[in-house]
Amino acid sequence: MAPVPTEKVRNVLVLGHNGTGKSTLVEQMLRVAGHSAHGEGNPTVDHEPEERERGSSLSLAAVTFEFEGHKFNVLDAPGGAEVLGDTYPALLAADLALFVVDAAVGVQPQHEELWRVCEQRSIPRVVFLNKLDLERARYQDVLDDLRERYGTPLAPATIPLQLQPHFNGLIDVLHNEAIEIHEDGTRERYPVPEDRRVATDRNRVRLIEAIVENDDELLMRYLDGDTPELEELIPIYAHGIAECGFFPVLVGAAEQCIGVRLLLQFIVEECPSPAEAPHELPHDGPTVAYVAKTFSDQYVGRINLLRVLSGAIKPGDTLTVHRTGDSQRLQQVFALRGREQLPSDGANAGDLIAVAKLDDVATGDLLVASGAGVDLEVPTAPEGFHRVVLHPATSGDDDKLSTALQRIVQEDPAIGVHLDQERGLRVLSFAGPTHTDVTVSRLKSRYGVNVEVEPAPIAYLETVRRPAEGLGKHVKQSGGHGQYGVAAIELRPLPRGGDFEFEDAIVGGVIPHNYIPSVEKGIREAMRKGPLSGNRVVDVAVKLVDGKHHSVDSSDAAFQMAGILAFRDAVAKAQPVLLEPIAEVQVFVPDELTGAIMSDLSGRRGRILGTNAAGPGRSRIDAHVPESELTTFVAEIRAITSGRGEVSMRYDHHDEVPDQIAKRLLAALEKD
């Protein structure tokens, strides 16, 4: 496969909820482009064992093909709420987001979340209203709902020629033309039938209004009652899409391959190439490539999918990994069609290309030519809030787990890895239980590693409420070389987040200068386990004010123990309290459910920070909520909102646990 000019490339990110038929649409795109389908048992996308078992996309798939002289790079993104991690890095590889909506179901939660993300990054959008062959399909209702949610720039480019019982064609609204698709795949064009004239005219008005909004002169004429001619609208059509001022809706039935060819032609004729899309780097600059996805292949090993942001790539090139500074030689270069690797001579700016066997190169990395300056905002998935600890099932699994986890995380950057130094645990964060289950399954199927999963412990801390004094005496002088160290300290609380301060206030040499660090070391050691729960003590200041030493029996070890004892003595007198982690929570819900969600948050000891509009008919609720109250929150919000609620959570700070709740927690810890 030879490199193609930038203007002949189309990079399309296919988005949609599970079950909308987006993967079927991608398979049919391949078929229309002249590539034989692999068959239901061996699809091009959704080919992973876990995807076949669950019947849905779980990770990004890349499909390259040629259609009418253009190269298509189609990225099929997963649609489940807990497996969207791949979608965010792929945004920088796309020049068009194709939203697939089930006409029998309508708008679903992931559509709203991903639409907002694309809006933030100014990615052009097209909607494909799918499954119009189903008896329960609702074209006009779903279109009206889309326009209510996303505004009047979203308008119909095609509408159904007819619905049930025989959906067999479309109406090109702009050109006022019916397109009937016969059983043998041939198409017949003719004037819009009279029984569809009213619907066509009504939707054509919507379409023209959306188009003229992108040209001040045409808009003023239209407002004065002068409807522009077709020849005047056509140049503005594509411009509006590229500038995110117009979002066309096309219709079809992917399962029946109705509307798929027209969709591909529409993308070729009306949608932006990388040359037209706004970019942060000039295409003719030094080579810069972005790693949009990392795959794991059992035969080839690691495969990185690159978007060439500027310059060009060819086999044998050497680029530098911006993150590490390491040089990498690009030896195996190819295009991807699912699992199939198509030999390639390279790629120009704007194109996508895959490279195998690069060391320590992961999703989100930038590969740059010598002298290339890079300052890019790389999109990342929201941090997961479902935290677990993975334990190897056997000693053999223990040997393989670290390497397998490293590879899994390179492939799926939505997995967070945190080392809990206090407990010696490796805590992993996922988007939810499904995300966890998929990862555990991949560890077993790809790397032969069996693990056991348990919830990660809540990261409680301890602190003190008031100042106190403490005395530590470590004196042992019964025969032989003794131990002697005495330290007196003053302890006081610091503001939340203050961590630890140590002050040496010794005068007169009562503790020799060389033993002062030993006292501090002992205090820091004592802070690792507080008196209430055994968790770390934080936000305290310690002043070393007095002490005693012995010219023979004093030592570093003796004063370290004196520091431990002094700190324990002071903390016990300073009203120690338990601190719990507090999460910053954002919930996006329909307006009519705002009260119910705020009530639910309050019932979880949440503090409502405010509410804001989050688009037509939707509100964003901001709150601080204890992490211990959020174990089942995401699942319950989805149930309350019938799947229309979205939740974003991240750690914010620690705060005191109310006394009654602290008593229950500490009693439970004592039983354990």
- Report if residue 377 sits inside a domain: no
Q: The domain spanning residue 328 has which CATH number?
A: 2.40.30.10
- What type of residue is 412? D
- Report if residue 57 sits inside a domain: yes
Residues 212 and 319 in one domain: no
Residues 492 and 610 in one domain: no
Mark which of 423, 457, 491 sits at the end of a domain. 457
Mean pLDDT of all residues in 41-58:
61
Q: Where are the beta strands (DSSP E) in 274-337?
A: 288-297, 301-310, 312-313, 318-321, 327-329, 332-337
Residues 128 and 66 in one domain: yes
- Report if residue 373 sits inside a domain: no
- Report if residue 610 sits inside a domain: yes
Mean pLDDT of all residues in 221-233:
92
- The DSSP secondary structure of 384-425, one letter per residue, reads P-EEEEEEESSHHHHHHHHHHHHHHHHH-TTSEEEEETTTTE
Better pLDDT: 296 or 626? 626
Q: What is the pLDDT of residue 293?
A: 92
Tell me the per-residue pLDDT of 596-619, one tens digit each, with 9 for 90 and over. 999 999 999 999 999 998 766 788
| pLDDT confidence tier of residue 499, bands split at 50, 70 and 90 | very high
Q: The domain spanning residue 617 has which CATH number?
A: 3.30.70.240
- What type of residue is 530? G
- Report if residue 618 sits inside a domain: yes
Tell me the per-residue pLDDT of 407-465, one tens digit each, with 9 for 90 and over. 888 888 788 888 777 777 888 888 878 888 888 988 888 888 999 999 888 889 999 99
Residues 169 and 241 in one domain: yes
Q: The domain spanning residue 85 has which CATH number?
A: 3.40.50.300
Measured over the CA atoms of residue 148, residue 152, residue 158 and residue 162, the dihedral's sign is: positive
| pLDDT confidence tier of residue 272, bands split at 50, 70 and 90 | very high
* Cβ neighbours of 183 (radius 10 Å): 7
Location of structure tokens 């334990």:
391
| pLDDT confidence tier of residue 551, bands split at 50, 70 and 90 | confident
Contact 158, 170 (CB under 8 A): yes
Q: Answer yes or no: is pLDDT of 281 > 70.
A: no
Number of helical H runs and strand E runs in the chain? 16, 34
Tell me the per-residue pLDDT of 132-143, one tens digit each, with 9 for 90 and over. 998 888 899 999
Residues 131 and 243 in one domain: yes
| pLDDT confidence tier of residue 107, bands split at 50, 70 and 90 | confident
Q: What is the pLDDT of residue 220?
A: 94
**Three-state SS letters, 28-57:** HHHHHCCCCCCCCCCCCCCCCHHHHHHCCC
Residues 614 and 588 in one domain: yes
Q: For residue 174, what are the domain limits?
A: 6-270
Residues 85 and 168 in one domain: yes
Determine phi and psi for 524, rounding to 5 degrees.
Answer: -60, -35
Residues 292 and 430 in one domain: no
> Alpha-carbon distance 535 to 280, whole Å?
47
Q: What is the pLDDT of residue 338?
A: 86
Residues 447 and 494 in one domain: no
Q: What is the pLDDT of residue 429?
A: 87
- Report if residue 590 sits inside a domain: yes
Q: What is the pLDDT of residue 51?
A: 53
**Count of residues in the chain:** 672
The proportion of the chain whose per-residue pLDDT surpasses 90, expressed as a percent, equals 58
> Alpha-carbon distance 71 to 420, whole Å?
47
Q: The domain spanning residue 480 has which CATH number?
A: 3.30.230.10
Residues 181 and 313 in one domain: no
Number of domains in the chain: 5
Q: What is the pLDDT of residue 376?
A: 81
Q: Is 18 helix (H, G, I), strand (E, B) or coil?
A: coil
* Cβ neighbours of 663 (radius 10 Å): 12
> Strands 461-464 and 576-590, how do they pair?
antiparallel
Vertex 486 angle, CA 484 and 487, to 5°: 150
State the pTM of this model. 0.80
Report residue 126 as tokens: 């097209």
Mark which of 270, 303, 334 sits at the end of a domain. 270
> Strands 125-130 and 247-251, how do they pair?
parallel
Residues 217 and 116 in one domain: yes
> Alpha-carbon distance 197 to 194, whole Å?
5
DSSP 553: T
Report residue 47 as tokens: 């080919």
> Alpha-carbon distance 358 to 317, whole Å?
12
- Report if residue 379 sits inside a domain: no
> Alpha-carbon distance 425 to 561, whole Å?
27
Location of structure tokens 């070729």:
268
- Report if residue 279 sits inside a domain: no
Residues 51 and 155 in one domain: yes
Residue 43: closest CA among 34, 56, 33: 56
Tell me the per-residue pLDDT of 316-365, one tens digit each, with 9 for 90 and over. 999 999 988 899 999 889 999 988 899 999 999 999 999 998 988 988 89
Q: The domain spanning residue 398 has which CATH number?
A: 3.30.70.870
Mark which of 407, 425, 457 sits at the end of a domain. 457
